[in-house]
Structure 1
């Protein structure tokens, strides 16, 4: 591997890590729930083309395990939505099989890493400890965003050149997150 390839790989890894950290920050600052944070980080970070309102509207029903049903992990569902958006953006009808294959790959990778894809199963040991539960979900949010970003950039490496680094590298405090959330609530 030459130095240029090593440098490019290093930049891609930094981008993937930045997207994961941004998703985690959106969750930790309580601006967004798991699904919303993953989809927002992927959409904004890699130029998915959705507005914040559109991304939130799409993701909100999937939060807290499909509307608090306890089923599919919200972070995983956000990752699947994000990969579908980014991989199918230019020709969704022609790329549907590839997008389904990517969804299966994310599912299998997530399940292998965490032992389950069901929120009820993932949170069973921490459901009575709200801090541990919150921390676990923040980690799952970051990990799902990382898995999705890696998959997308493997299949569409040109998106790295379109990355919104200002968005990806932005970190807010809990207070800053609360102010952002309030601004969104009163903006329309």
Structure 2
């Protein structure tokens, strides 16, 4: 569902994006990467059909439960590609690498790692069986969606009130 961004202040919009991404994960609609992609696609006015979320399907729990790169980060990278990515024949937008690195560095600074198994080491092996683990991942998902939205607002890709 498209978000009417120009009726919201920056903080209201960021709160909504974070809450929407968290709720998609919390209610079982999607996992981390999928929630970020779906929420940012909605924020952008659905420039991509909802099937774009399928592209994020292999990234939850650190790339297919391998525990590697956090799925929320992967979803955030896909979301950045929605705006800064390219199609065949186009030159690479330098902003893609800049924003991609900034997202990596943001999570690394927040959690000291970008690796799912490190970020969730307190719950090793429980694979979302505990409410604590799920809530921790929901929070990261919301923070990544909010971070991406903020970057898009700051770069005038999203207009707010």
TM-score range, shorter chain: 0.7 to 0.9
Question: What is the CA distance between 1:86 and its match in structure 2?
Answer: 2.0
- Structure with greater helix percent: 1
Further displaced range: 40-49 or 97-106: 40-49
Q: Residue 41 of structure 1: which of 30, 39, 42 is its match?
A: 39
Change in CA separation of 1:110 and 1:48 when aligned onto 2, cut-off 3 Å: farther
Please tell me whether the aligned partners of residues 43 and 86 of structure 1 are also in contact (alpha carbons under 8 angstroms).
no
Specify the SS of the correspondent of 2:59: helix
CA distance in 1, matches of 2:16, 2:91: 30
For 1:137, the equivalent position in structure 2 comes to 137
Cα shift at 1:158: 4.5
With normalisation by structure 1, the TM-score equals 0.73
Tell me how far 1:95 sits from its aligned partner.
4.5
TM-score (norm 2): 0.84
Question: Corresponding residue for 2:158?
Answer: 159
Partner of 2:59: 62
Give, in angstroms, the shift of residue 24 of structure 1: 0.2
CA distance in 2, matches of 1:18, 1:92: 36
Partner Cα distance (1:86, 1:136) in 2: 28
Match of 1:111 among 108, 116, 124: 108
Distance in 2 separating the partners of 1:59 and 1:93: 23
Give the match's secondary structure for 1:160.
Answer: coil
- What's 2:15 paired with? 17
Cα deviations across residues 21-67 of structure 1 (Å, max 9, x unaligned)?
100000000000000000100011222511112x2211101122111
Tell me the number of residue pairs that the alignment of Structure 1 and Structure 2 aligns: 151
